[in-house]
Chain A
């Protein structure tokens, strides 16, 4: 009879020893986290960090709730008695230590603040606390968090989670997390480290590279060798990836240049006039987007994601109308006088800038991105941002639409005729002044819809046009006037060249080198890459 209590006491003592001996185990009964929670009742960031580490070690549900509340900014404390409260969505407070609501709503609360170090320890703690959560998304993010924190104390929890895990993606993430922990653990066995290096090498991205660089500093030669081999393999792969990444950046920059320049190529080609107000058409398109968004924000906020689609035709019309006004009002009278047209359109650009400044103010205007244009995704190791992707798609769509208009409509036919030989086209009965106006309107309208796209990646200010006018002329001069394919090839070439130069020469010098290259190029081929041939054109 007396043996039983002492056996129970012995077992309890052993259990307590185990609990005290090992820092973390989610499967053993959780300790009371009240003392650790009380440590969070302070403004001292180091204390808060220590409290979080202690809480994570308890493995209790209350600990997880408190840490999650802290991460969301819903944890408050009272200076007087170090009480800690969690505020829920309804604004009601719950005592973090007991999990129950207090008798009356507490007052004199101050928020428990965070800094980057606290956020990192929260991430690590949530990782260890949610490794065996029933929600698979939480388990995956826990595995990723442990991969980054590399906390050696999580090893037993990782082993338990791996044994229970059924989903292959999460298994792989847990295996990588375990490998990361082993590499960072100074007293892990060599065979463990070598197999860990192999798992990480299979991951093959920049995070893997970072981890393997720390393994390279290991004292054991066999681990060092494994790490170095893995690193060489990854670096080779990364060099290729980097080249593709630069090509992608170049294509996205080229698509921006294409959008800005294609309208100019058409007007320059058909009418031979240098339109210095072209950048302002882009600016008008961007401001149209701003106006549409402001309208939707106040009246129909649910339609915000459609704001760009609504702004596109409006921007085309607005810029096109302004284009017709300029053509009928000024350029028509300066036919055949390129220098005067240049000066006149320069004046028009200043007038347009100042009018926009007067109506909307000189400051930048905020144009928001619809939800489908934010964020990025991973494409075989390349990071592709949605905004840029849609702009590339959009630029190609505009190009195709314009090609169809030029080659498959009667208007396009007349435009091409006027480009090749104005006098003969006039003799054939084509009303050249009318074609001029419509071409100018088309070119300006395209610039307007380019402005809608550019409002997503650049600041919307009255000076927006000035940053694109020089680039547009560069593309048109390089690609050849009046030729759509020339503009496409020129824009993409210049974009890709700029992006390949940038890592070596820097943004400023890269631009300069490109300009020098174009100057030298047009010495050899003054008409650009794809020059139009014809007797009238060459005169």
Chain B
């Protein structure tokens, strides 16, 4: 009896000691969740975002951490599997108790995790260009809304390349479908006829582009200048560009402007046949300012690979991370509600020589850059907006959205406030 009691007491003491030290250890670090696909069809794009987050966390720890504590990265792999994104998000918030998450690429992955973040009151920084039509209290959109990427790209083609016929080619999920809806409405508002617009969708990972590229060629031979606006995502881009090269579609004849192809996606292709095709982003590695050069040096040292490239979603994570750090210092805590309020109005430098500010609708201000692919896989910047564009998620060209605004400051605190009816439609979509 005594022996049993003694051993029970010992066990209890040991357990208490271990859990206390665990609690103490936990209290010593601030956990930062990284929710990016490290395998599957989106790994080509998302792996580098995990790496840049690790670099930012390491840098911040060298500066002494945050609020006197070290930052700890919690990396999970949702494997390009959209329901798994939601499970991993829940795991990060409930099991690992992360203070903030940086993650997602495809809009379908973001839509999967949105209910989880809203239910558990987490904070997500989403770094990728997307289709708009959403504004959540718990998500901060550091990527481009359609008015910061898609619309200026179409404007550039209309003014500079005098394009009159449009092919809108995308992967079959919510981002290309919604963006093409916005673009179709925008083109029609500019007087483009319905028969001059061809819309086409393919599944993720599609590899047989022969028919579609031949159709694009055919569509472009009516004598009117034709361009392709590509919202193709993931590694389907590789066989697409290869087929364009094989069928000898040069950028001089039918330029392709892509929204989801950056330096990282081009790293694995021979870009000599693609010279002159375009991409629209808010940052390119070739931006020639000292802040960008310093960042690229740091990145190459961190990855120990002089051939690694930087791209726009990486810059979005840099901006988002610095904004979060500033907001936590402002609020004095990592509590999500306080941080969410503190983030609005925070302004940090971006990597193209200017500043980026967090607006009340949880979007940031960004410049719009149009770049042409070069033979070495880099982009040559051929056009730049003179100032910064404020992200507007409720498109002015869609019926259901043009009367909506989003403002998360008190007293409005609404993601989709209808200015005509004066009512809030709910806590974001």
Contacts and interface: CB of A to CB of B under 8 A. Distances in A.
Contacts of A457: 207-208, 239
A242 B372 CA distance: 32
Interface string B200-229: 111101111011101101100111000000
Contacts of B212: 502, 507
B39 A462 contact: yes
Contacts of B214: 245, 249, 383
Interface stretch (A111-119, A280-288, A513-521): A111-119
Interface in B71-88: none
A98 interface: no
Contact of A115 (B205, B215, B382): B382
Given A363-B47, A364-B238, A207 B247 contact: no
A301 to B, nearest CB: 16
A463 interface: yes
Contacts of A368: 270
Contacts of A120: 252
B422 interface: no
A413 to B, nearest CB: 37
A26 interface: no
Interface in A372-388: 374-376, 383, 385, 387-388
Interface in A27-67: 45
Nearest to A382: B214
Contact of A206 (B44, B200, B217, B380): B217
B207 A458 contact: yes
B161 interface: yes
A218 interface: no
B269 to A, nearest CB: 8
Contacts of B202: 506-508
A461 interface: yes
Contacts of A253: 208, 210
A249 B238 contact: no
Contact of B161 (A116, A148, A249, A376): A116
B218 A458 contact: no
A439 interface: no
A130 interface: no
A374 B206 contact: no
B15 to A, nearest CB: 35
Contact of A458 (B160, B200, B201, B239): B239
Interface in A241-299: 242, 245-246, 249, 252-253, 256
B203 A507 contact: yes
A467 B207 contact: yes
Interface stretch (A170-178, A208-216, A523-531): A208-216
A469 to B, nearest CB: 13
Contacts of A385: 210, 243, 246-247
A357 B39 contact: yes
B372 A115 contact: yes
A68 interface: no
Nearest to A238: B218
A436 interface: no
Interface in B234-262: 235, 238-239, 243, 245-248, 251-253, 255
Nearest to A242: B218
Interface string A382-404: 01010110000000000000000
B41 A116 contact: no
A116 B200 CA distance: 25
Nearest to A461: B235
Given A123-B252, A459-B205, A113 B380 contact: yes
Given A210-B222, A376-B247, A508 B201 contact: yes
Contacts of A207: 221
B276 interface: yes
Contacts of B253: 148
A119 B382 CA distance: 13
Contact of A117 (B161, B215, B221, B247): B161
B172 interface: yes
Given A116-B255, A459-B207, A459-B239, A210 B39 contact: no
B38 interface: yes
A49 to B, nearest CB: 11
Contact of A388 (B47, B161, B210, B238): B210
B200 to A, nearest CB: 7
Interface string A174-218: 000000000000000000000000000000001101110110000
B372 A210 contact: no
A214 B223 contact: yes
A267 B49 CA distance: 43
Nearest to B214: A245
A476 B245 CA distance: 34
A366 B218 CA distance: 31
A119 B276 contact: yes
A364 B248 contact: no
B382 A506 contact: no
Contacts of A252: 210
A499 interface: yes
B193 to A, nearest CB: 15
Contacts of A343: none
A183 to B, nearest CB: 10
A362 interface: yes
Nearest to A214: B223
Given A116-B276, A249-B210, A376 B41 contact: no
A134 interface: no
Nearest to B236: A459
Contacts of A210: 221-223
A339 B210 CA distance: 38
B268 interface: yes
19 contacts: A114-B372, A115-B382, A116-B372, A117-B160, A117-B161, A119-B251, A210-B222, A245-B214, A256-B208, A374-B245, A385-B243, A385-B247, A457-B208, A458-B207, A459-B238, A461-B41, A503-B215, A506-B200, A507-B206
8 smallest beta-carbon distances between A and B, as pairs: A362-B39, A206-B221, A213-B223, A210-B221, A458-B207, A214-B223, A115-B382, A385-B246
Interface of B: 38-41, 43-44, 47, 160-161, 172, 200-203, 205-208, 210-212, 214-215, 217-218, 221-223, 235, 238-239, 243, 245-248, 251-253, 255, 268, 270, 276, 278, 372, 380, 382
Given A211-B223, A253-B208, A363-B43, 12 more contacts: A45-B382, A113-B380, A113-B382, A114-B372, A116-B278, A206-B218, A249-B211, A363-B47, A461-B235, A462-B39, A463-B39, A499-B211
